[in-house]
Amino acid sequence: MDLPVTPSFKLTGKRALVTGASSGIGLGAAVALAEAGAEVVLAARRADKLDDCVAAFRDKGFSASGVPLDITDIERTAAVVAEQTPIDILVNSAGLARHSAAVDTVEADYDEVTNLNVKSAYFLTQAVARQLVAESRAGSLINISSQMAHVGGLDRAVYCATKHAVEGFTKSMAIELGPSGIRVNTICPTFIRTPLTKQTFDDPEKVAWLEQKIKLGRVGEVEDIMGAVVFLASDASALVTGTSLLVDGGWTAG
């Protein structure tokens, strides 16, 4: 009898663009894709940090290059996407949080968080999708969202609003782009230990609260996201689009 064959998790021959790639989840995503065989373009705002990352990738024998990019510059982002084509995989890990009680939110913080987390993410995803459609290529577009796209959180009204919005445009784009073989999904992590979350994790009371909320009893590490990135980027998830992969240790289950 003929047995089914597991679709490949390998990404050999694929080219990936990862934004927010100089640290944290973005760096982990880029490493995961490179380990799976993809050629990876690392994008982030700090050129010096990017140079260090690319050198480290090449030391490991990975195929990698870097491009300085602030995705809030919509025109520049579209130009970079056009220059870097072909792109088979997008992982957008650029994001921002400004936490405060809803009644204390100031307009400047609202605008800054919304501009990066929603507007810039939208037009980055659009730019890659346009290139894929123009080239009649299939692809996988992944936005790093958050468990807070599925629940509310104290002092996180603006952040939650932006991540709920990402889930919304992800679903709509998935519907529109599905006939072209382009998949659009999100990954929704819980609290992940990164340089940007250091202040939270330096507070023992906050860590204790997080561990109580996360049903597996521990906070997340960058490595917890890496397998999810490879899954959504690869043929292993060929029928997965318009959905969220929650990597939250059970936070949203309770």
DSSP state of 225: H
DSSP state of 100: B
For 62, 68, 113, 132, the CA distances from 46, given in Å and listed in that order, are: 21, 6, 19, 27
Is residue 159 part of the annotated active site? The answer reads yes
DSSP state of 249: T
Across the chain, the runs of DSSP E, i.e. the strands, are 15-19, 39-44, 64-68, 89-92, 139-144, 182-189, 192-193, 220-221, 244-247
CB 76 within 8 Å of CB 70:
yes
Bin 249: left if φ > 0, else alpha if -120 < ψ < 50, else beta: left
For the residues of 3-34, what is the DSSP string, one character each?
PP-PPP---TT-EEEEESTTSHHHHHHHHHHH
From the list 159, 191, 231, 251, the catalytic residue is 159
- Residues labelled as active-site residues: 159
